[in-house]
Amino acid sequence: MIRRILAILLGSFISSVALANDRPVERPDLGKYFDKFEATGTLVVVDERQSPAATHVFNPERSVLRYSPASTFKIPHTLFALDAGVVADEFQVFKWDGIERSFEGHNQDQDLRSAMRNSTLWVYQLFARQIGDRKARGDREKE
């Protein structure tokens, strides 16, 4: 279900017909979302609903550079955790591990809402450990 929702969200960005090869389709029209917020960035969407998969990219030069995902990892990892059953819902409480951190908001019990709001890394590390590397990659059939 979560994958279906994510596919629908990602699919909403795809409005052009993809080329039937593995070369990315450049999408300068997606730049309007970056322009609106005076942001610099890139967007890569891989549409696996067809074979071969189609890749759409805004700002292809930047898309090949490596950057830290920073807080953007919280969104997919929250979906992975919900899909894997690691998290029941947004109200489930995760007990603070007792390690003092520099941001006071991290030094307390968390739920999904507070973990997202406070960028509470230890909660997302907990999810990653519980989900495991293979599930995080969507490679469930090998488990």
Cβ atoms within 10 Å of 56's Cβ, excluding its own: 21
Provide the annotated active-site residues.
Answer: 71
3-state DSSP assignment of residue 25? strand
Length of the chain: 143
58 within 8 A of 31, measured Cβ to Cβ:
yes
3-state DSSP assignment of residue 58? strand
Whether the bond between 69 and the residue before it is cis, its omega within 30 degrees of 0, is no
Radius of gyration of the chain (CA): 18
- Using CA atoms, how far apart are residues 65 and 62, in angstroms rounded to an integer? 5
